[in-house]
């Protein structure tokens, strides 16, 4: 694919890729899109800089399709890893590493004031 010249064409190419993935029971992803569109990562980055709104929508399309793909070709653990690493699902950030549960109440129900 030649350099993407407008945001509409950018999203159209993402939509064609997502449709192709659905028909082949594949999980849409950035690497697959680059291959499909015959783009380099730097060309994609350039398009994202020039069309930030469309880039966000493209990312949302990849995420939505990953969440709702229902493909049998990809194990749940691989899909889970993909969602965690690519979209931040199941972040490992925890406030308490020792397993202690802290309950915080900011109300005064039943208390005399």
pLDDT tens track for 34-73: 999 999 999 999 999 999 999 999 988 888 887 776 666 6
- 94: confidence class by pLDDT, cuts 50, 70, 90: very low
pTM exceeds cut of 0.95: no
Question: Rounded to 10 degrees, what is the CA torsion of 82, 84, 88, 89?
Answer: 120
What is the SS3 assignment for the chain?
CCCCCCHHHHHHHHHHHHHHHHHCCCCCCHHHHHHHHCCCHHHHHHHHHHCHHHHHHHHHHHHHHHHHCCCCCCCHHHHHHHHHHHHCCCCCCCCCCCCCCCCCCCCCCCCCC
pLDDT of 69: 67
Average pLDDT over residues 7-12: 90
Residue 62 structure tokens: 């990849």
Distance CA 72, CA 4 (A): 33
Nearest to 66 by CA among 52, 48, 80: 80
């Amino acid at each position: 694919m030649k350099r993407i010249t407008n945001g509409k064409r950018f999203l159209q190419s993402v939509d064609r890729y997502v449709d192709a993935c659905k028909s082949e029971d594949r999980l849409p992803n950035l690497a697959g899109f680059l291959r499909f569109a015959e783009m380099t990562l730097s060309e994609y980055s350039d398009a994202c800089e020039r069309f930030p709104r469309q880039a966000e929508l493209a990312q949302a399309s990849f995420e939505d399709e990953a969440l709702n793909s229902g493909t049998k070709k990809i194990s749940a653990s691989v899909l889970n890893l993909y969602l965690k690493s690519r979209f931040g699902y199941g972040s490992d950030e925890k406030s308490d590493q020792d397993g202690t549960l802290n309950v915080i109440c900011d109300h005064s129900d039943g208390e005399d004031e």
